[in-house]
Amino acid sequence: MARRAANNPRQKPSKVCGCAPCKTKYPEAQYGDRKSRRDCIGSWQARYRDADGAQKAKNFAKKSEADAFLDSIRTSVRQGTYLDPKRGDILIADWWNLWWPAHKKGRTTTRNRKLASWKHINGKWGRRKLNSLTHMELQGWMTAEVKGHATQKKVLELLNMMLRDAVRDQRIPFNPGEHVRVTAAAPVRHPDDLKPPTREQYALVRQNLPDYYHPLVVFLEETGMRWGEATALRRCHVDLDADIVKVREVVIDDEGHLIRQAAPKTAAGFRIVPLTPEARQAVEAMIDKWHPAETESPIESGMHPEELIFRSPRSGETRKVRTEAGEKVETVIEGVLNRNNFKRVWLPAIKDAGIARQVKNAETGRTEWWPRVHDYRHALATRLHAQGVSEKDVQLVLGQKRGGRVTWLYTHGSDEALSTVRSAMQGQQVRHLSAVS
């Protein structure tokens, strides 16, 4: 075993010290006159070897500080808890550039959500060093500057992922964001803002939509499929002999570009949905309109709109677009249904039907229109629930991961339920229903 150096820590000569050794090292003729002194005021250098055996050094103003540092470093090296201080001396923005390439793969929607959350973190902490973050700073920022319950949750989730990996990568000793809490209250909405339209109200909306979109909204109302699932439905996934459709993929918006994605929202999204006579007629109408190909193209091969059941009315038309070079060329419109484009006919329809109302989002402050296209799912769940369909079966049809979520999120009180409760409050005997778990 190598013998430990006797002069560790050692005092280093200083250009401003007037002791004899310092004047010898830094002559006054070159570095100027200094007042003579007996004791040296130079810094104390502590030398040590890290866990890999590499020579390191750090300077301190006092010998006692250097001795204490050496004791702690030698202990941490022996116990395997040593962290190189320089590894944590990195900007948050630079740590993101190292961290993100290892985490950017996965679902497109998840990736885009993380990128949106990173903008909040980078704007505040991007120029700060990783090992300089403190718990109170992070909590204060979360409380005062990050607005909205959902935004706080997503931003804090990403921040903790980055800091936990920094701990695992031996850059910081602990995660300062571990106990940071979301302080914004979860938004509470009035039941009127959550209750979906009735079938009669949806009939009014359908009457005010262009005829071309009638099969689409009927299909959404009868199947409860998500917008991305319905617009991704291909002819090969429809079995008219058995009156079923198979949910195998979705269409999602990737920063303005529509792309195919193999997996639905959750694993439960892979499911078989039965077709009612109305839904079957809607599918047949679109098949007669477009004659979609029955081939099953690979996800990675592109959109292949010729296989889609539901498309925009301009699918297959040609239009002129300008290239980067400024030339106009003709291109064929794929015709994949876009949610934002559909809103151009949806909003006038709900207004003309007389059921539209504006609802202010308490969390974001933005004004939204009710009803949404997504409320077709709520309406179907409520209708099935009122017909006595078990929660488990509703869960399977809607493609929810857990049944309890169907009860509190997708089912809403009906007018019949209000009448039943009112009768009970008046002392009248009512038919009792058993709960289904």
- In one-letter notation, the amino acid at residue 357 is R
CA dist., res. 265 & res. 429, Å (int): 44
CA dist., res. 123 & res. 111, Å (int): 19
How far, in Å, are 189, 192, 351, 373 from residue 358 at the CA level?
13, 12, 10, 15
- Cis, bond preceding 9 (omega within 30 deg of 0): yes
Q: What is the pLDDT of residue 416?
A: 55
One fold for both 92-168 and 198-354? no
Query: What is the pTM for the complete model shown?
Result: 0.71
Block residue for tokens 């949750």: 153
- Could you tell me which residues are beta bridge partners of residue 330? 320
Of 318, 320, 296, the C-alpha closest to 308 is 296
User: Strand, helix or coil at 192?
Assistant: helix
Q: What is the pLDDT of residue 264?
A: 67
Cβ-in-10-Å burial (0-12, 13-18, 19+) of 8 comes to middle
pLDDT per residue of the chain (437 residues) written in tens, 0 to 9: 456 677 889 999 999 999 999 999 999 888 888 899 999 999 999 888 876 778 888 899 999 999 898 888 888 778 777 677 778 889 999 999 999 999 988 888 889 999 999 999 999 999 999 999 999 999 999 999 998 899 999 999 999 999 999 999 989 989 999 999 999 988 776 666 678 899 999 999 999 999 999 999 999 999 999 999 999 999 999 999 999 999 999 999 887 889 898 866 667 678 889 999 999 999 999 999 999 999 999 999 999 999 999 999 988 777 777 777 777 777 778 889 999 999 999 999 999 999 999 887 766 667 889 999 999 998 988 888 888 888 888 888 888 876 554 555 555 555 554 454 445 444 555 444 443 43
Q: What is the pLDDT of residue 407?
A: 54
CATH of domain 198-354: 1.10.443.10
Residues 265, 271, 274, 279: is their CA dihedral positive or negative? positive
Q: What is the pLDDT of residue 266?
A: 67
- Could you tell me which residues are beta bridge partners of residue 45? 10, 59
User: Strand, helix or coil at 408?
Assistant: helix
Beta strands in 275-414 (DSSP E): 318-322, 328-332, 357-360, 367-370
Question: Quick one: fold of 92-168?
Answer: DNA polymerase; domain 1 (1.10.150)
Domain boundaries, the chain: 10-82, 92-168, 198-354
Q: What is the pLDDT of residue 404?
A: 54
Q: Are 48 and 2 in contact (CB under 8 A)?
A: no
User: Strand, helix or coil at 271?
Assistant: strand
Of 172, 164, 156, the C-alpha closest to 124 is 156
Supply φ then ψ for residue 59, to 5 degrees: -100, 145
